[in-house]
Amino acid sequence: MVIEPVHTLDHVRKSFNSATNRTDRSQIGQFLTPAAIAHFMSSMFETGLRHVRILDPGAGAGMLFAACVETLVSQKDRPLSIEVVVYETDSTILPYLDETMKRSQSLCVSNGIVFHGNIRQEDFVLAAITETKESLFAVPGARFTHVILNPPYKKINSQTVMSRMLYSSDIEVANLYAAFVWLSMLLLEPEGQMVAITPRSFCNGPYFKKFRTEFLRMMGLKRIHLFESRKKAFGDDNVLQENIIYHAVRGLQTPKSVTISASEGLDFDRTHTLSVPYDQIVHPADRDMFIHLGIHDTDVGPAERMRCLTSSINELGLGVSTGRVVDFRAREHLRQSPEQETVPLIYPCHFLNGFINWPVQSGKKPNAIVSSSETSNLLVEDGFYVLTKRFSSKEQQRRVMAAIYDPTRIGAPLVGFENHLNYFHKQGKGLPADLAKGLAVYLNSTIVDQYFRLFSGHTQVNATDLRKMPYPTHEQLLRLSRYVKETIPDQETIDDIMEKECLNCEQ
Ligand SMILES: C[S@@+](CC[C@H](N)C(=O)[O-])C[C@H]1O[C@@H](n2cnc3c(N)ncnc32)[C@H](O)[C@@H]1O
């Protein structure tokens, strides 16, 4: 099998960029996608189709469809035929586009795939409106299995023919990119897939409400990729827009979750990924249908800084579970104060300065649970554990609040952790004391908080989220543990310690 690396496509892009003027290019919104992004976008499509029809509207030099063809050809279950339809209005870029199409053709032919390419030098918006109009005389064209696009970004002038045509087709958009995405989804066949890179401005704000509503109604949003550094997405073009990449499937029922990922610029090998429940991305009661990405300007960089933390919960040999005592189900076994035959029951109200402070007499919560054969599977052996609160209030300083359960301060053979807590353990039992201390320092750091806010728009801290996070290595955790004495250090000190730890590994 002969496959040309997609990066040779960057030559086409660069030679076009150097042959043309940047101001002219930006006037028609002509920012060509770097090969690394094109490749990354192509990798998002689900595979397995025998006959593929790709649409690339506003194709420029053809980076996107070419990367897509290359990805399809390199797959084990590659298609039998690929058809590519592209639209492009700028005549200066057509020779480059033509060359890219020929390359894709020869790649397919040399790999035994039937290929058909069609370059349409016409306005995509006008052509697509005609294609999708349901009128008596319209002959609807074939629909696409794949759409890949980086459309032009430009305000639509309301005095133009295009604006009037869009309006009469019920496509109300203020920017050309939204018109491109809207028409592209109409041209997809059922279960056809779209991967697009566009500004993220459509995710909120009133101007995009109609577009957003229609997009979320017609398409199942499966993935969103964020760039942590705004300027890096288009490299040498230095586009200031904040761009996002998204993958969506036509007609898919609202998915249960959306994969959110983030990378610093084009470094896709070090992408951080989280699965976020759909209703936290689009709140069910929100009539404006905002798409919450949970990332703010101040958040830029946390995933980048987390890079120095290369371990995982599995690598550390640890586990995280949710507290087993659901208090209203175990009511008969709970006691306000410790008695004979009881063991400690730990709630979030027992958190104090990074440790578990038990018992708490003033609290409304019971302090103890009877230890008997009926409750034995709710309890764990005594030992060092790190506990985190599952629910945080908005006022709370950080999302992740951790405290150390130090058995020497409590002196009980068993302990119950209530269901509002998650606990870190080693195969169900306690952790070595220094590991627990180091872990508590890490979990209470601002860098973890920022990382959480970046990925989760909600205040809940699930065990799954904690399992997916990056962690310091065993050695780093031991170094962190040395700062824990009677209490855990204050916030400033914790953040300084973490900063030093990250600096150390950059050197
Ligand atoms: C942002 S560039 C992206 C090019 C290419 N998709 C890529 O990713 O490298 C958008 C392209 O759309 C073209 N374009 C602008 N308006 C168009 C229209 N109405 N119909 C078709 N192409 C258009 C521009 O000439 C430009 O090449």
Residue 474 has pLDDT above 60, yes or no: yes
Give the N- to C-terminal CA distance of the chain in Å, as an integer. 42
Pick from 25, 37, 89 the residue to mutate for probing ligand 1's pocket: most ligand atoms within 8 Å of its CB. Answer: 89
Q: Measuring from atom 23 of ligand 1, which residue has the nearest CA?
A: 58
Residue 237 structure tokens = 């073009």
Query: Out of 67-76, 290-299, 456-465, which region has the weakest mean confidence (pLDDT)?
Result: 290-299
Among 163-167, 318-322, 502-506, the least confident range: 502-506
Interatomic CA distance for residues 253 and 255, integer angstroms: 6
CB 31 less than 6 A from any atom of ligand 1: yes
Residue 148 predicted with pLDDT over 80: yes
Confidence band, pLDDT 50/70/90 cuts, at residue 458: low
Q: How far is the CA of 107 from the centre of ligand 1 (A)?
A: 24
Can you give 197-222 as a three-state secondary structure string? Answer: EEEHHHHCCHHHHHHHHHHHHHEEEE
- Write out the H or E segment, with its range, that includes residue 491: helix 491-506
Query: Is the CB of 58 within 6 Å of ligand 1?
Result: yes
Span 408-428, mean pLDDT? 97
- CB of 90 closer than 6 angstroms to any ligand 1 atom: yes
Indicate the pLDDT class of residue 462, thresholds 50, 70 and 90.
confident
Q: What is the pLDDT of residue 274?
A: 77
**Which residue from 397, 404, 394 is spatially nearest to 442, judged by alpha carbons?**
404
CA gap 289, 234 in Å, rounded? 28
| Structure confidence at residue 440 (pLDDT) | 97
- Tell whether ligand 1 has an atom less than 6 A from the beta carbon of residue 302: no
Whether pLDDT at 42 is above 90: yes
Higher local confidence (pLDDT), 46 or 269: 46
Atom nearest to 56 CA in ligand 1: 6
Q: From the CA of 178, how far away is ligand 1's center (Å)?
A: 13
- Evaluate if residue 276 carries a pLDDT over 60: yes
Q: What is the mean pLDDT of residues 447-473?
A: 79
Q: Quick: pLDDT tens for 362-375.
A: 778 999 999 999 99
Give the span between the Cα atoms of 369 and 330, in whole angstroms: 9
Ligand 1 centre to CA of 199 (Å) is: 14
Average pLDDT for 472-477: 94
Nearest CA to ligand 1 atom 10: 152
For ligand 1, atom 7, name the residue with the nearest CA: 32
What's the confidence (pLDDT) of residue 7?
52
Residue 195, ligand 1, Cβ within 6 A: no
456 close to ligand 1 (CB < 6 Angstrom): no
Q: Ligand 1 pocket, 10 CB below 6 A? A: no
Res 68 pLDDT > 80: yes
Mean pLDDT of 59-87: 96
pLDDT in tens, 82-102: 999 999 999 999 999 999 999
Residue 28 has pLDDT above 90, yes or no: no
Question: Average pLDDT of 425-434?
Answer: 97
**Mean pLDDT across 19-46:** 84
| Res 51 pLDDT > 50 | yes
DSSP state of 150: -
pLDDT tens across 111-140, in order? 999 999 999 999 999 999 988 876 555 555
Q: Residue 96: enclosing H or E segment and its boundaries? A: helix 94-110
Distance (angstroms) between ligand 1 centre and the Cα of 59 equals 5
* Ligand 1 within 6 A of CB of 252: no
Nearest CA to ligand 1 atom 18: 123
Note the pTM of the prediction, 2 decimals: 0.64
Residue 377 has which token pair? 């599977």
CB of 197 shorter than 6 A to ligand 1: no
Mean pLDDT for all residues in the chain = 87
Instruction: Please choose, from the candidates 195, 103, 469, 170, the residue with its C-alpha nearest in 3D space to the C-alpha of residue 315.
Output: 469
28 pocket-lining for ligand 1 (C-beta < 6 Å): yes
DSSP 259-322: EEEEESTT-GGG-EEEEEEHHHHS-TT-TT--------GGGSSHHHHGGG--B-TTTTT-EEEE
Residue 174: pLDDT band with limits 50, 70, 90: confident
384 pLDDT band, cuts 50/70/90, is: very high
- pLDDT at res. 325: 97
Q: Which of 206-220, 407-421, 464-478 has the highest mean pLDDT?
A: 407-421
pLDDT band at 1; cut points 50, 70, 90: very low
Asked whether 33 lines ligand 1 (CB < 6 A), one says yes
Give the model's pLDDT for residue 236.
47
Give yes or no for residue 358 CB within 6 A of ligand 1.
no
Q: Residue 449 has what pLDDT?
A: 86
Domains, the chain, ranges and CATH? 6-293 (3.40.50.150), 319-506 (3.90.220.20)
In terms of average pLDDT, the best of 21-35, 242-256, 274-288, 367-381 is 367-381
pLDDT score at 262:
81
Lowest mean pLDDT among 216-225, 362-371, 392-401: 392-401
Read off the tokens for 15: 């030679």
**Nearest CA owner, ligand 1 atom 26:** 30
Q: What angle do CA 178, 301, 499 make, to 5 degrees?
A: 170
